[in-house]
Amino acid sequence: MANITLKDIAHSYTGESKNPDDFALKKLDLTWRDGGAYALLGPSGCGKTTLLNIISGLLHPTRGEVLFDDQDITDLPTEQRNIAQIFQFPVIYDTMTVFQNLAFPLKNRGRSRKEIEPRVIELAKILGLEKNLYTKAQHLTADSKQKISLGRGLIRKSVNAILFDEPLTVIDPQLKWELRSQLKFLHKKFGFTMIYVTHDQTEALTFADEVIVMYEGKIVQVGTPEALFEKPEHTFVGYFIGSPGMNVCPCDLQKDRIFIEKYELALNKIYGEVDPSSKIEVGIRPEHLSLAPPDTTGLPVKIIKVDDIGRHKIVRVALKDKEFNVVAPELSGMTGDSCSLIFDIDHTNIYVNDHLISGERM
Amino acid sequence: MQLELRNVSTKVGSEFHITDVSLAFEAGTLNILLGATLSGKTSLMRLMAGLDQPTSGKIYVRGKDVTGVAVQKRNVAMVYQQFINYPNLTVYENIASPLRIAKVAKNIVDEKVAKVSTLLKLDNLLQRKPQELSGGQQQRTALARALIKGAELVLLDEPLANLDYKLREELREELPRIFAETGAVFVYATTEPSEALLLGGNTVSLHEGRVTQFGATIDVFSKPANLITARTLSDPPLNTLPVIKFNNKMMYKSHVEIPLIGRLPDLPDDDYTIAFRPHHLCLTRKFDSMISVKAKVVVAEITGSESFIHIDVAGMRWVVLAQGIHNLDINETIEVFLDPSKFYVFDRNEQLVVTPETVPGI
């Protein structure tokens, strides 16, 4: 068990280069605390799997060092790093029983039966595999097989970290809920450092205490699920997290107010002077917008479309040619095609060239 | 085009894979086949396409019996989860390929490719090769090729499953418009309830090769005819409580008593299952008629704006979906509150007998 530090790490698949575009992973510094639950979240090609493989030792970084506590392990091969990795598809022995599969990592390291048996049984119980302990893995369903993979990752108490690379992709939605809550429970119970790679925001946010959002080879934000939702530091984070994502709309900024399509909106913060040539945008989540009858205080908008997705409605509205998504509760009766759009000022963020700027509270 | 399946079954050995399916899809409609892995989605699509023949039952296209007619002789297009494009052809040639095979004149090919590529937002990418496209663009190319044939029946087998979460969100938003413009019958298989609800249209709920309900997606969601349909359409999963009504009391063992209000007094004494959605299970008492139940926290998941709290109630697992951040400790005992006006009640045969009071039109 150790803190894992990535120091000035960068990686190019074509080797050292002067061209920054060659780097799938741009320069980054990051420390993973021992026992933390982390998620690496981003779209395909953002560098998240590259980063995972550098930690596990499957890839040697072009630049920088990997440290376990103070020890430089950059040149250490995977098998000496004491890290467990769980992949998208179950990696198990089909002809072995569940018990044999779970026991394998311990047996392989010469542990005694006396030590192995209680551990296997304990883990099988937590994973809900105890009824199938003596069944061959090939007779089990996809989700049970993936549970065995998880179990094999968790069986050794001494691992430095457990890495998950999109482990729930092949699992049906209903079972995803079960497996996810089991993972979270296992983390709380055993206190392993867990790093979970996914492009699915729900999986990342529900699993992790801290989420690292990656975009085009860079880390754009590290934060708690709450911070990523309430205060996205980059418009990409706002867009990528939340469904639908944050509304981002060009505006003019004047100290404590903004103008969208000439309509004025008073804020509760004062912002400093911003270079007029930069891109200024307002960001607000659909959950922080609401609709009121027309001609009340609010911006006059037209309703373009209402999607009833069960638990709530997603209403698409237009202020001239600027469109916004609004999340409305399930029972709101929407009639007519025009209404007033109300901003929750406490949750209205201002972005300059895609980066969040902070104002002074009034 | 109208597609109809009448009492269609398939048998492999003595085992039914598809059991007595009757469905009718109208032209210009989107029809979602929703169900878990192995519920029969792909089997049904293969029957509709003519790739497989039913053991019994008939398939009609525009009232004409096509049972036994080979796939080549039907006007069908299929798009798979794993997008398939010709790697050495440009996007233009990929889309045009069915017309090339049919030896269509060049000016007509140009015209049709222009139209369908605009519809799918590929018009700026026509000279690229598939590997230079994102996953979403590749899947759009495959979809464009399916549409350009002018097929009357377009079958999409989990077309978004291999795409990033956000790309899925974008395509899901565009698909209904594309479907509406072509006038074909679309059949769309997915395992995800949230995908069905976002797409709208009609939904066929499938379970073990049988249709459990067919209707407008939002109606199937808000008024599921039976418990299995309710479960199939729910993500997060539905909470259920088995109760016995006897002697003017409705009880779950000795743990929970359900007051007989609304339509509950009219039900004859018997076994029932009460079901309610996670966002209708609350952490605070919002009004007097709510029912208090003691629960133990299994694990809490935070999504940024909401929390999913998995709880144990006398051995049953429920999920609370609560607004805001609730960091509750594992094994903490809490009180949760049920809203009886939001109950679905199913009889001993799992058929719906009581719907929530707020569902309109009942």
B309 vs A111, A171, A191, B177, B300, CA distance in Å? Answer: 38, 21, 20, 37, 4
**A174 has a pLDDT exceeding 70:** yes
| B223 & B124 share domain | yes
Contacts B237 to A, Cβ<8 Å: 174, 177
Digit-coded pLDDT (tens) for A126-146? 888 999 999 999 999 888 999
- Indicate whether B208 and B331 sit together in one domain: no
Instruction: Say if the ipTM goes beyond 0.85.
Output: no
Last residue of a domain, one of B196, B213, B232: B232
The answer to whether residue B14 sits within a structural domain is yes
**CATH fourth-level superfamily of A249-361:** Nucleic acid-binding proteins (2.40.50.140)
Q: Are A327 and A259 in contact (CB under 8 A)?
A: no
Mean pLDDT for all residues in chain B: 90
A353: CB partners within 8 A, 6+ apart: A278, A279
Last residue of a domain, one of B232, B251, B278: B232
Q: CA of A278: how far to CAs of A236, A252, A273, B34, in Å? A: 17, 11, 11, 47
pTM: 0.86
- What does the pLDDT read at residue A176? 86
Structural domain contains residue B359? no
Same-domain status, B227 and B294: no
Domains in chain B, number? 2
DSSP SS3 for A307: strand
Examine residue B141 and state whether it is found in any structural domain, yes or no. yes
Residues of B in contact with A184 (CB under 8 A): 299, 301
List the single residue in A226, A240, A331 with the smallest CB-CB distance to B166. Answer: A240
Mean local confidence (pLDDT), A225-244: 93
Contact B330 A185 (CB under 8 A): yes
pLDDT digits (tens, 9 = 90+) for A46-75: 889 899 999 999 999 999 999 999 999 999
pLDDT at A31 over 70: yes
Q: Which residues pair with A9 in a beta bridge?
A: A28
Whether residue B361 is contained in a domain is answered as no
Structural domain for B83, as ranges:
3-232
Residues B217 and B265 in one domain: no
CB A292 within 8 A of CB A334: no
Q: Do A243 and B169 touch (CB under 8 A)?
A: yes
- Chain B positions contacting chain A at CB under 8 Å are 36-37, 134-135, 164-167, 169, 191-194, 197-198, 200, 218, 221-222, 231, 233, 235-237, 277, 279, 298-299, 301-305, 308, 310, 319, 325, 330, 358
Could you tell me if A6 lies within 8 Å of chain B, comparing CB atoms?
A: no
A141 and A173 Cβ atoms separated by less than 8 Å: no
Q: Do B237 and A177 touch (CB under 8 A)?
A: yes
User: Do the chains contact at B165 and A229, CB–CB below 8 Å?
Assistant: no
What is residue B361's predicted lDDT score, i.e. its pLDDT? 35
B236 and A177 in contact by Cβ < 8 A? yes
**Pairwise CA distance, residues A361 & B59, whole Å:** 67
Q: Which residues of A touch B303 (CB under 8 A)?
A: 202, 205-206, 225, 229
pLDDT value of position A191:
87
Residues of chain B with pLDDT under 70: 358-362
- Give the percent of chain A with pLDDT over 90: 67
Question: Which pLDDT value is given to residue A242?
Answer: 87
Q: pLDDT value at position A173? A: 83
Q: Helix, strand, or coil here: A91?
A: coil
One-letter amino acid for residue B242 of the chain: P
Q: Which positions in chain B touch A207 (Cβ < 8 Å)? A: 301
Mean pLDDT (whole number) for A15-25: 90
CATH H-level, domain A4-238: superfamily: P-loop containing nucleotide triphosphate hydrolases (3.40.50.300)
Q: Residue A333: its pLDDT value, please?
A: 57
Q: What CATH number does residue B210 fall under?
A: 3.40.50.300
Contact A172 B36 (CB under 8 A): yes
Taking the Cβ of residue A210 and every Cβ of chain B, the question of whether any pair is shorter than 8 Å is answered with no
3-state helix, strand, coil in chain B (%, to 5): 30, 35, 35
Nearest to B304 among A239, A241, A311 (CB): A241
Q: Which residues of A touch B224 (CB under 8 A)?
A: none
> Is the same domain home to B350 and B265?
yes
How far apart, in whole angstroms, are the C-alpha atoms of residue A110 and residue A158?
14
Residue that finishes a domain, picked among B232, B252, B274: B232
* A244 touching chain B per CB within 8 A: yes
DSSP B273-307: EEEE-GGGEESS--STTPEEEEEEEEEEEE-SSEE
Q: What is the pLDDT of residue B90?
A: 95
At A334 the pLDDT is 60
| Inside any domain, residue B335 | yes
Planar angle of CA A188, A212, A20, nearest 5 degrees? 150
For residue B314, count other CB atoms closer than 10 A to its CB: 14
Predicted local distance difference test score (pLDDT) of residue B360:
44
Q: In the structure, what pLDDT confidence band is assigned to residue A332 with cuts at 50, 70 and 90? A: low
